């Protein structure tokens, strides 16, 4: 797990997502929907700022929900649907 708080974890999640897409010959522009799961809704602004660094033009549709607990006690998890 990445140290440094929710911004660092969000950046790592999006870097991982980018790497997975790139491995399939895709980029973040192929993402049409994301679901963001966060431990504390008070962190939304911080997460959104990092998210905006990756989805610069048209951001995909997004759902964001606060959850009681995430695997390995991370602060943020993002799932994505991409279209080929």
Instruction: Note whether 78 and 35 are within 8 A (CB).
Output: yes
Whether residue 64 lies in the annotated active site: yes
Set 2, 64, 70, 74: catalytic member: 64
* CA–CA separation, 35 and 77 (whole Å): 8
Angle between helices 5-23 and 44-54 (to 10 degrees): 30
User: In whole angstroms, what is the distance from residue 21 CA to residue 82 CA?
Assistant: 8
Q: Mind telling me the catalytic residues?
A: 64
């Amino acid at each position: 797990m990445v140290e440094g708080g929710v911004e660092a974890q969000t950046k790592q999640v999006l870097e991982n997502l980018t790497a997975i897409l790139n491995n399939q010959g895709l980029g973040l522009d192929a993402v049409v929907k994301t679901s963001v799961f966060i431990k504390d809704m008070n962190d939304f602004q911080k997460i959104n700022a990092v998210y905006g660094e990756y989805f610069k033009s048209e951001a995909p549709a997004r759902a964001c929900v606060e959850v009681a607990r995430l695997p390995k006690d991370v602060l943020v998890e993002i799932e994505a649907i991409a279209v080929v």
